[in-house]
Each structure stands twice: as C-alpha cells, then as structure tokens.
Structure 1
Amino acid sequence: MSQITLVLPFALPIPEFAPDLVGALQAPALSALLSRTSSHARLPANDAVRALPHEQWLARELGLANGGRPAFAAAAMRAAGVEAGIEPLGGTWFIVNPIHIEIARTHLMMGDLRNLGLTEPESRALFETARPYFEEAGHALVYGDAGTWFMRADDWAGLDTATPDAALGMDLTDWMPEGRSAAAFRRLQNEVQILWHTHPVNAAREARRLPPVNAFWAWGAAEAGTLPAPDAPTLKTFDAGGAVQALAGAQPDALPDFGTRLDGDTILYCGSAAPYAVGADWGGWVAQLQQLEAALFAPILDALTKGRVREVRLVLSHRDAHAEFTTTALAQRKFWRRPTLDRLL
C-alpha cells in the first residue's frame, strides 16, 4: 500500500482571518483528516533560507536542499528533458524565470508568474534576444519552457537567492540576490532590462494590455547531477506552475485524476489555493477549498478508510509557517475525536 503526502501551499489560513475562513468552510473529509491523526505539528518558517515554508519542506523531502535552500535547477532540467542536449553537463545551474516588475509608489514588486501569460513564441523571442548577453557574461542559457529557462553560472555558486513566490508581493530591494556575485547579477539584469524595454514582444503585449516582461529572476542553484534522493517519493503536481511543475514533468488534466492510480509513496502537490491567498481573494480561497473537498479530500479519505492507502500526510502552509498532519486507517477509527477544522486556527 502507498503513502500519500498532500502538499497544499497557502491552504493554511493566516491567523488574522483564520476564524472567519474556517467558519465559512464546509469540509467534513478535510476535518476528519486533520482531527483523527496519529501526529500533528506546526512549524515556523526559517526566514534565513529565503524560501516559503512549503518550498523548504519539499526541498528537504526530495533531498534537494542546499543549506536548507531549494536546489531545484538540475532536477528541473532533467524533468524538462533539456539535460540530455547539454555537453558537457557540469557546473552550477540556476532556474531563470522571465518576470514582470511593477513600479509601486515607494518600491518595486514582482508580478505573480502565474498571471504573466507568456506564450511560447513570446518567450522564445525574448530568450533568443537575451542569450548573447548571458553568453558574453560567461553564462550559458538554455530554454526549458515559456516560463522556465536555465542558466549555467559556476562563478555565481555562492549567490544567495530567493524563490519567486517568497519575493512575490514584497519590496524587491530586500529580496534581490546577495553575496559576492550580486553586483555581476545586477549588471546582467540591467543589460537585459534595457534590451527588452523596446522589444516587439513587449510592445505587442502592452498593446493587448498585458504586463511587459521586463526582467528575469534567478534561483534554485544546484550542481549538475543534483537529483532527488533515490528513496524520495514520486512527485505529482496540479496547478503548481514554474519549477515545481518542472520537477514533476507532466501533470494530470483534471483534479479528480490527481489522486488516482497511485503506486508507491507519492507527494501530491496542489497549488490551486495559492493564487487566491496571494491575491487576498478570500472568497475565492474558500470556494477553492470547497472544490478540493469534493475532488481530493473525500476520495483520499475514502481510499484510506478502505485500505487502499497506508498513510496520509497533509502539509498545509501560509507565508510564515507550515502544519503537518499524519493519519492512518486506525487513527480514523478514533470516533471520540469529533471532526473539526479547528486545527487550521
């Protein structure tokens, strides 16, 4: 029998709104999974890592953490199928995301990558324009997909970077790369920004009232060949986006297919609630959790109680912490524990 670990970024309500949000949820299956447990814990984020709690957790679970930081680049390259075309493959690789930087009244902010809507032709055009500048700086640039490229930068191995979601909505001054190579990063960033400022892709996007792609974000540094641990669970994703999606390769077409046909220990990473929480759309957040109740929590609880799954773990997070809950079929027989969502508070 398999073990399922369900990872739900931003499904843990933030403390100031938690009572109202929990009161609005009708989720008996989730209540049972959270209440009738063999163990549970809530852990604060490690702010020094510059990654969100669920990203730190995933990096540790897959064996892709470097000093606690997500070292996803090499594994994402392997999953995206671009590793095979690089000879020789060596050195330090970074994930590179084309992004939109917004100018707020007093600071700069990164737009949500999930809302960028960059097409393959647009991304290819921007990539080909920028690549000579990366190469002139001594860094190979490899295309993965519209939102995910890869850069080799051996001399930037010690660069202290933040994940895009950790920097999202924050003052970018506090989240830009730091360390000995930071000045070199900023120089390359400035050159690419100037290059893209008048690019036809951005002119066409702005004509369609879409945000221009005016910068790139580098993170997830890993030595070539840094792959998930041999005993790491299989990763499946839904609505993950970005490099986490790249780590898993293909994703199911529909949420009801997400938790089916499990073989062995599996991490199910579902990012459906994240955009609503990030955008402070709490009505949408509640509606999304209700959809997950029917499409995910109830089927998983049914599989657990009928013996098709040995153990279920839930990892729920918000920006400052994550909570872990473990339950089994035996724990679900603890009828004296009334199912409740109070552990989300």
Structure 2
Amino acid sequence: MPDKLHLLIPLAASPAPGCQQALQGLQLPQLERLLARLTPAGADAGEETDFSPPHERALARHLGLPASSAGTTPWAAWARADVPAGQACAWVTPCQWQVGADHVTMPDPQQLRLDEADSRALLAVLAPWFAQDGIGLEYDAPTRWLARGAALQGLATASLDRVVGRDVRAWMPDAAGARTLHRLHSEMQMLLYTHPWSDQRAARGLPAVNAFWLHGAGALAERPAPVALPEMPQALQQAALREDWSAWAAAWQQLDAGPVARLAAHVAAGGQARLTLCGERSALQWDTAPRSLRQRIQGLFGRQRLMDLREQL
C-alpha cells in the first residue's frame, strides 16, 4: 500500500497584526474543499515561547522522533547516518548577532553569503576552542556544522526558526544547564572581533560572522524506521520571517492552487491523505479517517476557513 500523502504547512497563520489583516480577504477555495472531505485528527497546543515550533514538532511525530516543545528533538543525530546510537550531537550554525541598545537580533544566516571555503576556514578557527570542552566540529554545509560531544546530551536548544529576526536573548538555553555553551558564545565573539578571518571578510565587503547558534541537540537511542517525508512548503514561513504579509498571502494563494489542490483531488479520488496546519503556537491535523454522520453533514453544509481556524494556531 502506498504511503499516505502528508501536506505539512508551516506558518499557516500568525498572531502578528499584519497576518491577521492579510487573512481578512484571503480566499482559499481548495483548502475549504479539502477540509470538507477530511476528518479532524487532533491538535498540538503550545505557546509562542516553546523552543520547538509546531511544524518541527509535527515533522518529528511524522518521522517517529521525540516531539518535544522544549527543544530536545535530536535533529542532528537523525539527519546524519554516521552518528551512532547514543552519541549526543547538534547542529552549529555560524551567524551574526546585531547588538542594539536593548536587543540582540540574528538575521537569517543565509544572508551572510558564507560559501564552503569560508565556512571551512572559520570551522578551523573555532574547532580548537570547542575541542577544549570535548566537542568535536565537522563540516556539513556552509551554514551548518555537526558538533559531537557529551556536553550536548539532553541540552534544550531553540530552533533556528524561532530565533531568526528576533532577540536571541529570549531563546538562549538555561544558563545553569548550559554553562559551557554560554562561555563558548562569549569566547567566540571576542575571538572573531579581531581575528584575521573576520578582517578578510570585511575587506571583501561581506557581512560579519560574530556568533553561532546551536540547535537540534541530543542523542537517538535507536534510529526510527524510515518513512517518506511530508510535502512541507517553505514559502509562507519565509515571507512571515520577513514580516512581508502581502507576500505571505500571495504564497498562500499559490499553495492553494498547487499542493492543496493536488491533495484535494487525491482525496476526492479515494486516496489517503493527511493535512497539518501549523502556526506560531499550535498545530491542527486532519486525516482521511472515516467520518461520523454529523461530520459528513457538517462537511456538506458548513465551511471551514483559515480565518476561522487562526485562533487555534
């Protein structure tokens, strides 16, 4: 039997005033058509302050990983097949912290224009400092390195999706339980401030890299059985991070005409499917499970609109 199709949509709604205004006139006929044929399959209620956003929790459950709101899903251990069971690891993302009078914000690390050569050179600069605390660093991608070490076991870390464009101080791990990480942050900022690597970047007109973000920490007791990944469009999320709500509304209309319409047609033809809508706080899920008579009647005569669901997300 083929896998059930799963469409998982991050940032389907946001409590931001701009998003609420964009929702007022948003028409999504294919989403309404799809919801009329699906059965509610539960909610994952959370808070905007959770270290793990709802879409990451939903993806973790889909994959058979621990789906904690506290930021303890071992994403790095899952993504790398060469990480043995029980070994604690994490992702390290080089980034920039912009220090203001009353805030410290992190722009999207993808804006740093960090290529593989620069990233590897920076890793060589920082690796000895991490090694002093028993943490090994390995290159994975320009803005993502793999860290391994016992200090990463059980460490609760905030997702990059929570931190980009926001004040990082609200998302730092608890100082009492992450003294090593806090000290490394301070050391890296002082080191990079005057390091020749940073001077060379500045001479080339490239953005400064003066910090790092550690995320996806933990260990896997055993690797879950592989499953097909859900379709997980990023357009809404990217527009929301920029707070460009007109682009967000346009992205929703494209999703409605594309992935949502295809899933609705699949369900109408008798196919099995799951839909997960995620906001800043919570997630709602629907499935092609059998519906009660009351649910079938509601599907015929009632409409579920995103506008009506926004408070639950």
Which residue is 1:279 aligned to?
Answer: 242
Is the CA contact 2:90–2:152 (under 8 Å) kept in the aligned structure 1? no
Trace 1:36-47 onto structure 2 (pairs within 5 A). Answer: 36-39=37-40, 41-45=42-46
Which residue is 1:23 aligned to?
Answer: 24
Quick one: structure 1 residues 26 and 210, their matched pair in 2 at CA, closer, same or farther if it must change by over 3 Å? farther
Amino acid in structure 1 at the alignment position of 2:214: A
> Is it true that 1:73 corresponds to 2:35 in the alignment?
no
Quick one: structure 1 residues 134 and 340, their matched pair in 2 at CA, closer, same or farther if it must change by over 3 Å? closer
Is the CA contact 2:58–2:67 (under 8 Å) kept in the aligned structure 1? no
State which of 298, 304, 309 in structure 1 corresponds to 2:267: 304
State which of 314, 319, 331 in structure 1 corresponds to 2:275: 314
State which of 150, 154, 166 in structure 1 corresponds to 2:150: 154
Aligned to 2:272, the other structure's residue is in SS state strand
Which residue is 1:234 aligned to?
Answer: 228
Distance 1:48 1:22 in 2: 23
Amino acid in structure 1 at the alignment position of 2:78: A
TM-score (norm 1): 0.76
Distance 2:86 2:19 in 1: 47
Deviation at 1:6, TM superposition (A): 1.2
Is the CA contact 1:141–1:152 (under 8 Å) kept in the aligned structure 2? yes
Aligned to 2:60, the other structure's residue is in SS state helix
> Is it true that 1:174 corresponds to 2:139 in the alignment?
no
Unmatched 5+ residue regions in structure 1?
A: 236-266
Distance 2:290 2:85 in 1: 46
Provide the aligned C-alpha RMSD in A.
3.0
Distance 2:280 2:15 in 1: 8
Distance 2:38 2:16 in 1: 22
Amino acid in structure 2 at the alignment position of 1:22: L
Quick one: structure 1 residues 104 and 33, their matched pair in 2 at CA, closer, same or farther if it must change by over 3 Å? farther
Is the CA contact 1:189–1:216 (under 8 Å) kept in the aligned structure 2? yes
Aligned to 2:98, the other structure's residue is in SS state strand
TM-score (norm 2): 0.83
Aligned to 2:102, the other structure's residue is in SS state coil
State which of 204, 229, 232 in structure 2 corresponds to 1:269: 232
Deviation at 1:273, TM superposition (A): 1.0
Deviation at 1:24, TM superposition (A): 3.0
Aligned length: 303
> Is it true that 1:116 corresponds to 2:112 in the alignment?
yes
Quick one: structure 1 residues 32 and 217, their matched pair in 2 at CA, closer, same or farther if it must change by over 3 Å? same
Aligned to 2:80, the other structure's residue is in SS state helix
Distance 1:177 1:146 in 2: 24
User: Comparing both structures, which one devotes a greater share of its residues to strand?
Assistant: 1
Which residue is 1:336 aligned to?
Answer: 301
Deviation per CA, 1:259-295, whole angstroms, max 9, x where unpaired? xxxxxxxx11222211211221100101111222223
Once the two structures are aligned, what percentage of the paired residues are identical? 31
